[in-house]
Chains A and B, each alone.
Chain A
Amino acid sequence: MVGLSYAAVPLYRLYCQATGLGGTAGTGGDPERIERMEPVRDRLIRVTFNADTHASIQWNFKPQQSEIYVVPGETALAFYKAKNPTDKPIIGISTYNVVPFEAGQYFNKIQCFCFEEQRLNPQEEVDMPVFFYIDPEFAEDPKMAKVDLITLSYTFFEAKEGQKLPLPGYQ
């Protein structure tokens, strides 16, 4: 799982370079979908939050709520918090994981703090929001019928110039 998280960061960078999308271009269809979707009130889902930091980064990083109850089709907000307790600025970059992984396809992040470098100055502490929704189609997928717990995990790595992340199966 660590290997997969490692790979996701440079993959996203390559994706951005190839397509020119810096993560700021919204896909045309999504805002319409969000505006039109209706909450599925009879499928309450518990979303729990994990926070990890790779050994290389000295940030203190944690979720501000351990769980939140949401329903598919309704946007939701949650917060993490990060602090740089050192006396040097540190640049971090994060990736995320969703379990069960089959539920991941329905987990849509509208905006968050991931995949782009974030710089914290010495002693700085910031709120890090995640704005997301679970697609209403989740409620129609028979494979998801017994899923009422989804766990979102973020992991921060230190971003260094020229750092080579060990990618499994590459180079």
Chain B
Amino acid sequence: MSTAMNFSNKSFTPRPPDKGAFPLDHFGECSAFKERFMECLRQSGYESAACRQSAMAYLECRMDRQLMANEPLEKLGFKDLINEKSEEKPKKS
């Protein structure tokens, strides 16, 4: 889906994000989840794969507070974590 307005063939054309912009979390409602995620990154040497649980928790926080459109977590790339989670009852706070 490219516009017809590329004025250069060989340049980088920024594309809009698939789901648009995140609303700003003006009240820091999900800051704690972000902190947990960042702490995980620091401890894992900034390895994204090690912190997917925390990433998912952050996005769930946003969805719970209307800071992100609701989307099934499988469609956000977390289907393997969902299968694990279905064993326990997740507590959304």
Chain A residues with a Cβ under 8 A of chain B: 4-5, 7-8, 11-12, 14-16, 21-27, 30-32, 34-35, 37, 39, 64-65, 67-71, 74-77, 79, 95-99, 101, 104, 108-116, 118-121, 124, 126-129, 131, 133, 169
Contact = CB atoms under 8 A, between A and B. Distances in A.
Given A76-B48, A77-B58, A127-B30, 10 more contacts: A11-B3, A14-B3, A35-B74, A64-B38, A74-B48, A75-B52, A75-B55, A96-B14, A111-B18, A111-B19
Contacts of B46: 65, 67-69
B38 A115 contact: no
B75 A97 contact: no
B14 A97 contact: yes
The 4 A-B pairs with the shortest beta carbon distances in the complex, nearest first, are A75-B77, A23-B20, A101-B12, A31-B75
Interface of B: 1, 3, 5, 7-8, 11-22, 24-26, 28, 30-31, 34, 37-38, 41, 45-49, 51-52, 55, 58-59, 68-69, 71, 74-79
Contacts, number: 149
B66 to A, nearest CB: 13
A117 B79 CA distance: 32
A68 B48 contact: yes
B51 to A, nearest CB: 8
B6 to A, nearest CB: 9
B49 A95 contact: no
B17 A111 contact: yes
B76 A110 contact: yes
Contact of A14 (B5, B12, B17): B5
Contacts of B49: 39, 69-71, 74
B14 A75 contact: no
Nearest to B78: A75
Contacts of A79: 34, 37-38
Contact of A115 (B11, B13, B17, B77): B17
Give the residue among B3, B12, B49, B69 with the most A Cβ atoms within 10 A. Answer: B12
Given A77-B37, A79-B38, A129-B58, A69 B47 contact: yes
B26 A126 contact: yes
